[in-house]
Chains A and B, each alone.
Chain A
Amino acid sequence: MTTREHEQAVIPNPQEFNPAWLDDDAEFDDDISQDWAPQTGAAQELPLFDQLLRLGGGQQVEERTIQVESPGWRAMPTFIPLESWQGQVLEVSGETFTARLNSETDLTAEDAEFEIEAVSSTDMELLEPGAVFYWNVGYRVDPGGRRARQSVVSFRRLPAYSQSVLDEIAREATAISADLEWLREDGS
C-alpha cells in the first residue's frame, strides 16, 4: 500500500469534521499538507503509521498530520486529575497497607491507610514495604463523554538494575564513603 493510498484510506467522512472557525456550510478542506510540528511535539491525534516512517533528523521535523485518530487505535478513556500524591508503602498488614504520602501540589507529607482492594491485581506483586506508588484522584471520562470520579492507586515500575550496575554503584558508594572518612579525619 503506497503512502498516498494509505492516507486516503483513512480520511474520514468530511461531514464528521468541524474544521475551523468558518461558517457552518464551509466545505471541508483536506489539503493539510506539510504541517510543521515541533520536533518532539505531539499531533492533536496520533499520527498515521506511514508518517512515522518519514520522521527525519535535522532542524525541524515536518509531519503530515491528519486530524483524525488512526482507526487502528482503541479509543481510550481520559483522566482529568484533581489531586495527586506520591506514596511509599510503610507496612502491609492484613487487608490494608499504610503509606507515607507526599502531595504534588502543596508539598506536604502525611501517613494514610489504604485497603489492599484498591491495588490492581497487576500491581499486587509490587506491594511491599518501600514500594513507591502514585495516588491520583480525578474524573475519568470515557470515550462517550460519561464522567465518574475516580481514585487510582498505581505502583511505580522501574527496570531492575543488572548486577554490573549494582557493582558499579557499590564501587562508587565505597569511593564516596572513603572520601567522607578522609574529610572526617582531616577535621574539615
Chain B
Amino acid sequence: MSSYRIETEGISLVVAGAFSPASYTPGWFAAHKLLSAGDAEAADVKVVTNDVSQFQTDQLIVQVTSQQIEINTSQSPYEAARDLMLGALSLAGSPPLRALGFNLRRHYQVEDVEAWHRAGHAIVPQEFWNDLLEDPGMRRVQMQGKREDGLEGNINVQLEPSVKITNGIYVSVNSHFELNSEEPGSLDLAIELLETRFESELAEAMRLTDRLVEQIA
C-alpha cells in the first residue's frame, strides 16, 4: 500500500439564493425528466415543507431550503448531480442567486497511526502549542485562498481527523463563486459555471487534496 489511499469520496453542489423548497420533490424532478420515474418512486423522502425539502435516491441526496439547494453524491457519475442542479435552476424561474459552490470531500487512510500523527503535526506543529496547552492535538484546520481565475469568490480547504476511517484524514475543498444576486444575470452565470467549470473545478480539487496529503502523509 502506498503511504495513503482514498477510502471514500463524494461531491456536492450548493447554490445559495431564494427557493421554494416544497416544489422540489422527487415527483417534480421526474415530471421534468430530471429523475427517472423509478428513482422518484423509490426515493426516500425525509421531509417536504415550505421551509425544507430533503430526499434521497440511490444515487443522490437533495436538500433544499428557502436559501439554498444542495445536491450530494458519492457515486458515479458525479455529473448526475450537476445535471440535476442545472435542471433545478433552469426550472426555478429567475431566482436571485448569491453564490455557487463546488465541493469535494475525501477520506484518506494513511499507512499507520504514526503516519497519522505525523500528518497532524506537519500541519500544526506541536511545538508551538506545547507551552499553551496540555497534550495539544489538531482538531480542524481551515484555509482560504484567492481564486486565480479573476472571478469573485475563494477556495476553502478544510482538513481534520476522519470520523469514518481509522488513521484517516478528511480533506474537503470548496470552490466558492460569488454570484451577486443584485446584478441581473446571476442565474445565467451559475448555469454557465455549472456547464463549463464542473469538471475542471473538481479535477483541480482532487489534485489539491492529493498534493496536500502526499506532503503530510
A residues adjacent to B (C-beta < 8 A): 17-23, 26, 35-36, 38-42, 44-46, 49, 52-53, 55-57, 61, 67-68, 72-74, 76-81, 84, 86, 104, 121-123, 125, 134, 136, 138, 140-141, 145, 150, 152, 154, 156-160
> Which of B14, B70, B77, B176 makes the CB contact (< 8 A) with A136?
B77
Contact B77 A41 (CB under 8 A): no
Question: A21 near B121 (CB under 8 angstroms)?
Answer: yes
Q: 0/1 per residue, B1-35, Cβ < 8 Å to A?
A: 00000111110101110000000000000001111
Q: Return chain B residues, CB-CB under 8 Å to A18.
A: 161-163, 166, 168
A140 to B77, CA, bound (A): 12
Q: Per a CB cutoff under 8 Å, which of B51, B56, B75 touches A77?
A: B75
Please list 27 pairs of residues, one from A and one from B, whose beta carbons are closer than 8 Å in the complex, sorted by A's number.
Answer: A17-B163, A20-B120, A20-B137, A21-B116, A40-B15, A41-B101, A41-B103, A41-B156, A41-B174, A41-B176, A42-B14, A42-B105, A49-B46, A49-B47, A52-B65, A55-B65, A57-B16, A68-B163, A73-B56, A74-B56, A76-B59, A80-B6, A80-B9, A122-B36, A138-B76, A152-B77, A157-B80
Contact between chains at B54 and A79 (CB < 8 Å): no
- Whether A22 touches B12, Cβ cut-off 8 Å, given contacts A49-B54, A76-B74, A122-B38, is no
Check A123 against B74 for contact (C-beta < 8 Å).
no
Cα–Cα, bound, A74→B72 (Å): 13
The docked-state distance in angstroms from the alpha carbon of A132 to that of B32 is 17
A157 near B199 (CB under 8 angstroms)?
A: no
Q: Is the CB of B16 within 8 A of A39?
A: yes
Secondary structure at the A interface, as helix, strand, loop or mixed, is: loop
Which residue on chain A has the smallest CB distance to residue B176? A40
A89 to chain B, nearest CB (A): 16
Q: Please, how many angstroms separate the alpha-carbon atoms of A5 and B84 in the complex?
A: 34
CA distance A87 to B156 in the complex (A): 32
Q: Which residue of A lies closest to B105 (CB)?
A: A42
Question: Which one, B34, B38, B52, B162, contacts A121 given CB within 8 A?
Answer: B38
| Min CB–CB distance B41 → chain A (angstroms) | 10
Complex interface residues of chain B between 62 and 100 (CB less than 8 A to chain A): 63, 65, 67-68, 70, 72, 74-80, 83-84, 86-87, 90-91, 98-100
Q: Report the tally of A-B residue pairs with Cβ distances under 8 A.
A: 180
Q: Report the minimal beta-carbon distance from A164 to chain B, rounded to whole angstroms.
A: 13
Contact residues in B for A122 (Cβ distance below 8 Å): 36-39
Sample of 20 further A-B pairs with CB below 8 A, known A67-B163, A79-B74: A21-B117, A21-B138, A23-B137, A38-B101, A39-B98, A40-B101, A40-B103, A40-B176, A41-B156, A41-B158, A42-B105, A49-B46, A52-B65, A57-B98, A104-B199, A134-B76, A134-B77, A140-B75, A157-B80, A157-B84
Judging by beta carbons under 8 Å apart, are A53 and B137 in contact?
A: no
CA distance A102 to B32 in the complex (A): 27
Q: Which 8 A-B pairs have the closest CB atoms?
A: A40-B101, A21-B120, A122-B36, A41-B174, A134-B77, A22-B137, A136-B76, A40-B14
Q: Give A165 to B142 CA distance when docked, in angstroms.
A: 43
Q: Which residue of A lies closest to B153 (CB)?
A: A40
